[in-house]
Amino acid sequence: MRWWQTGVVYQIYPRSFADATGDGVGDLEGIRGRLDHLAWLGVDALWLSPIFRSPMKDFGYDVADYCDVDPLFGTLADFDRLLADAHARGLRVLLDWVPNHTSDQHPWFRESRASRQSPKRGWYVWRDPAPGGGPPNNWRAAFPRGTPAWTLDAATGQHYLHLFLPGQPDLDWSNPDVRRAMHEVLRFWLDRGVDGFRVDVVHGLGKDPRLPDLPPELAAIPQSALNDHESTHEILRELRRTVDAYPENRVLVGEVWLLLARTHARYFGRGDELHLLFELPAAVLTPWDAGAWRERVADVAGRLDPIGAWPTWVLSNHDVPRHRTRFGSEAAARSAAVLLLTLRGTPFLYQGEELGLEDADVPAGRAVDPGGRDGCRAPVPWDGSAGHGWPAPPWLPWPPEPERRNVERLRADPGSILHLYRRLLALRRASPALHAGSLRLLDAPARVLAYERAAGPDRRTVLVNFGAEPARCPASGRIEVASDGAGEGAAYGGVLAPGEAVVLRP
Ligand code: NOJ
């Protein structure tokens, strides 16, 4: 098995992780200074949300230079140091590559925009206005939601396409020069030693060349008939070849956001497209309900096992409210950690979930994100001091209770959710059943999800009580990890406490 199958990935949102320079925005040196903590926690790899040069209209997902680090975050030399120090601790590093669009400040777009005759005109999607004037078709942008996905460039009299902000023009991936340039970007970072990429908006890369009008309810990301064009798959096969040409199992993890879960599996191709992918939005929005999770686990296995594809599991990221907030209690967040770290597939953690962080309450006057996602991007509190380990007030407000929910305090408390994550990560690493084995759903009472993981003689049983009542659920074994820490090391007595999850060793 590959490292990206057996390992656990930790997503860092660099602006909000740790600030070394004292400007209130996190940076690479800040991350480097916290590597020992991440190694202590026990994750295997870090995924850094974009660190490239950017005007930050979409906080880094608008890239103005794919081969340089934004000065807010540091320099290429800082990145090299971070990568070396991470590798020295056995932590791999994935970058967040944004191929669907650039910033409107990227030199490619500036050149493309300069004239209709520009050699880079065809790098982006330019069209004449509709016959009566106005946008060339009815496609809608993600931000601001519902606005046209086209902006008129008055100087050249044509519109350019942007599925996101006007400051994020879409590249035209049918253009071989674009592909060549982007493959060079990948090689630039692969040559530097990165272990792979999280790939943004994979589902949008290929476009229907006719750019047809769509039924209005399907004309916007994410609903969207404008996603998921057949030509994306050839693009992915080429990317896969570039990445696979490198030694040591570099990886492509795609962000695929399609409403029908069953449409995602095609992005694995025949084992020649993405190595891993997020099945969004189901991945991050499945409610905290035993039936819903049972169905989802069965559905994922039913679709991916037959094609030899490996699932991912994720509960939170920088785009959606944190699951601690969605699920409504720390008890649920603790049981969710047991689930996330014992399912069959690669878990992705989002910074701060190991602290049980909730979304920040961001007053209107401090809101900055065009997509309304500030709450889940609140800074990580490192200690209980007034500045919580940040040398200057951070760019967003703190999440709730930073004086209690901070790294230093939770590290000192063996009963904390942070220690629960650490125990689960250690157990997962030590147990072939958990990091590589099969998964079999077991019969269980209505509000309980039960499954067995097995690899040869190594076996574990996982029981998750989603209900607010105690649940009788017969199984035998010693409690290895319990979401509330109760009874670890003792024999399981056949009853789960309200909201409790346990891992049993038969
Ligand atoms: C998905 C990213 O996760 C999100 O943060 C971003 O706004 C869009 N793609 C556009 O790049």
Provide the annotated active-site residues.
200, 255
Q: What's the pLDDT at 260?
A: 85
Mean pLDDT confidence for 214-218 = 91
Q: How far is the CA of 396 from the centre of ligand 1 (A)?
A: 18
201 lines ligand 1 (CB under 6 A): yes
| Dist CA 268 CA 236 (whole Å) | 9
Mean pLDDT confidence for 131-144 = 95
Q: What's the pLDDT at 208?
A: 94
Which of 319, 368, 373 best tests ligand 1's pocket when mutated (most atoms within 8 Å of CB)? 319
Ligand 1 atom 6: residue of nearest CA: 61
Q: How far is the CA of 164 from the centre of ligand 1 (A)?
A: 8
189 lines ligand 1 (CB under 6 A): no
CB 166 within 8 A of CB 104: yes
CA atoms within a 13 Å half-sphere pointing along the CA-CB vector of 441: 17
Report whether pLDDT(438) > 90.
yes
Interval 147-195: pLDDT, tens: 999 999 999 999 999 999 999 999 999 999 999 999 999 999 999 999 9
CB 338 within 8 A of CB 464: yes
Q: Give the percent of the chain with pLDDT over 70.
A: 100
Q: How far is the CA of 139 from the centre of ligand 1 (A)?
A: 18
Report whether pLDDT(223) > 80.
no
Which of 52, 162, 200 best tests ligand 1's pocket when mutated (most atoms within 8 Å of CB)? 200
Ligand 1 atom 8: residue of nearest CA: 61
Report whether pLDDT(77) > 90.
yes
70 lines ligand 1 (CB under 6 A): no
58 lines ligand 1 (CB under 6 A): yes
Report whether pLDDT(356) > 90.
yes
CB 66 within 8 A of CB 58: no
- What is the overall mean pLDDT for the chain? 97
Interval 334-344: pLDDT, tens: 999 999 999 99
Q: How far is the CA of 219 from the centre of ligand 1 (A)?
A: 18
Ligand 1 atom 10: residue of nearest CA: 61
Report whether pLDDT(262) > 90.
no
Q: What's the pLDDT at 261?
A: 84
Nearby residues of 134 by Cβ (< 8 Å), 6 or more positions away: none
- Cis (ω within 30 of 0) for the bond into 54? no
Buried b (16+ CB within 10 A) or exposed e, 294-327: bebbeebbebbeeeebbbbbbbbbbbbebbbbbb
Nearby residues of 124 by Cβ (< 8 Å), 6 or more positions away: 108, 109, 112, 160, 161, 169, 170, 171, 172
Q: How far is the CA of 482 from the centre of ligand 1 (A)?
A: 35
| Dist CA 11 CA 347 (whole Å) | 11
Alpha-carbon radius of gyration of the chain:
23
| Dist CA 460 CA 482 (whole Å) | 13
Q: What's the pLDDT at 222?
A: 74
Mean pLDDT confidence for 103-129 = 98
Q: What's the pLDDT at 428?
A: 98
DSSP assignment string, 390-439: -SS--SSPPPS-TTTSSHHHHHT-TTSHHHHHHHHHHHHHH-HHHHH-EE
C-alpha distances in Å from residue 464, one per residue of 11, 294, 455, 504: 25, 11, 21, 11
Interval 2-17: pLDDT, tens: 999 999 999 999 999 9
Of 29-43, 73-87, 223-237, 296-310, the one with minimum mean pLDDT is: 223-237
β-pairing, 251-257 vs 276-280, is parallel
319 lines ligand 1 (CB under 6 A): yes
Q: How far is the CA of 200 from the centre of ligand 1 (A)?
A: 7
466 lines ligand 1 (CB under 6 A): no
Mean pLDDT confidence for 103-114 = 98
Ligand 1 atom 3: residue of nearest CA: 319
Which of 12, 51, 58 best tests ligand 1's pocket when mutated (most atoms within 8 Å of CB)? 58
* Count of other CB atoms within 10 angstroms of residue 287: 10
C-alpha distances in Å from residue 493, one per residue of 147, 214, 488, 490: 57, 58, 12, 9
pLDDT bin (cut points 50, 70, 90) of residue 229 is: very high
Q: Amino acid letter at 273?
A: E
Q: Could you tell me the two tokens for 207?
A: 């476009």
- Dihedral in degrees, nearest 10, Cα atoms 420, 424, 430, 433: 150
The closest-lying atom of ligand 1 relative to the alpha carbon of residue 101 is 11
Of 192-196, 213-217, 348-352, 364-368, the one with minimum mean pLDDT is: 213-217
Mean pLDDT confidence for 359-370 = 97
What angle (nearest 5°) sits at the alpha carbon of residue 37, between those of residues 186 and 425?
Answer: 85
Q: What's the pLDDT at 248?
A: 96
| Dist CA 377 CA 320 (whole Å) | 9
Mean pLDDT confidence for 50-75 = 98
Q: How far is the CA of 59 from the centre of ligand 1 (A)?
A: 9
Interval 379-404: pLDDT, tens: 999 999 999 999 999 999 999 999 99
Q: Give the percent of the chain with pLDDT over 90.
A: 96
Q: What's the pLDDT at 501?
A: 98
* Count of other CB atoms within 10 angstroms of residue 355: 26
Q: What's the pLDDT at 491?
A: 98
Which of 16, 48, 52, 61 best tests ligand 1's pocket when mutated (most atoms within 8 Å of CB)? 61
SS (HEC) of 32-95: HCCHHHHHHHCCCEEEECCCEECCCCCCCCCCCEEEEECCCCCCHHHHHHHHHHHHHCCCEEEE
